Amino acid sequence: MPLIITPSQLERRAELYHQVGMLLAAGMTIHQGLEQLKLHPPSRALQLPISRWLDHLNEGCTVTESVARLGRWMPSFDLALVDAGERSGRLDACFKLLASYYTERAQMARQVISDLLYPLFVFHFAIVVFPFVKFVQTGNVFQFVATIIAMLAPLYGGAFLLLYACQGRRGEAWRAFLERLLHPIPILGTARRYLALARLAAALEALLNAGVSIIPAWDLAATASGSPALLRAVRSWKQPLEQGSAPSELVSAAPEFPDTFRSLYQTGEISGTLDEALKRLHTFYQEEGARRMRAVARWTPRLLYFGILIYVAFRIIFFYLGYFQELNNVMDMK
């Protein structure tokens, strides 16, 4: 498993899920679909995981068991949605949902990388130019290289650790910590919560329509949301639900659910149109979450660029202050 997931890897996973969903929707079984993809994989890098997946199915495993045995190649979020899809009999819809999710992630990652190229060039130029001036004055190559490494090494190390920490394959405890850390950040925190609610609504609608009882349906849907906060809240409902409490009452009392979700869910439960309400909730939160994520992808490089400009301006000011100080010292000596 790679340390850092790249946009290309996200796109390959999205294409795999898209093709599996298409083949299932066309009437093929999961075995037939994977046999087809084994012969003509979307990417050579996917040939081994597809082959292992198919081998597990041929050994008699269920779809969920077979993907679980793929190990860390299959993120827990993907596994939860596959489990929900298998229980509800709507694997094709769940694979298409996963394909859309990874396509969106890949597009945003590519946009951020593209928008960061120029700010990063300016930043590296600013890092190099001032030590270079001293190098011209002193001719000390070792000091020039050591200064650049001393400035860039912590920044590169911090960037690598940030990217590694934000990968979707960490354990639940780490994901819970990351969720609490990002929750108060404007736009980004809201976008993450909205996308988690969208996944929960989609999984819950599929499970309830397939006849899964309310307690396991909510638990599976919360797991599929990818949000540890939602999962903790829903798991605390088990006893009240067993005692006869309506899910809408528990949703209304849970701060993890926004007013729109509470209102629409309660309306759907009372009117007997819960499936329609959940579809509407999925569409609403998916669109709103994606819109906010695109805004984050657009503005993060711009804010970084402004920060770099401020840094360069201060470096120039301090450089000239030092230069004028040296001139004053020389004049005083005369």
CATH number at residue 226: 1.20.81
**pLDDT the model gives residue 163:** 66
Nearest-10 Cα torsion for 65, 66, 70, 71: 0
* 153 and 299 housed in the same domain: yes
Residues 61 and 136 in one domain: no
271 domain residue, yes or no? yes
For 225, phi and psi rounded to 5 degrees?
A: -70, -25
- Considering the domain architecture, whether residues 208 and 279 belong to the same structural domain is answered as yes
CB atoms closer than 10 angstroms to residue 292: 20
Q: Which of 74, 89, 122 is the last residue of a domain?
A: 74
Q: What is the DSSP letter of 237?
A: T
Is the domain of 328 the same as that of 315?
yes
Number of domains in the chain: 3
Q: Would you say residue 323 lies in a domain?
A: yes
Q: Where are the beta strands (DSSP E) in 137-203?
A: none
Q: Are residues 275 and 312 in the same domain?
A: no
- Mean pLDDT per block of 10 residues along the chain (334 residues) reads 70 93 92 91 90 93 92 81 84 87 84 80 78 77 83 79 62 72 84 91 84 86 88 92 91 93 94 92 91 84 79 74 70 64
C-alpha count within 13 angstroms, C-beta hemisphere, residue 170: 18
For residue 329, what are the domain limits? 106-157+295-333
Same-domain pairing of 219 and 279: yes
Residues 203 and 283 in one domain: yes
Determine the pLDDT at residue 172.
65
**Residue 164 has what pLDDT?**
65
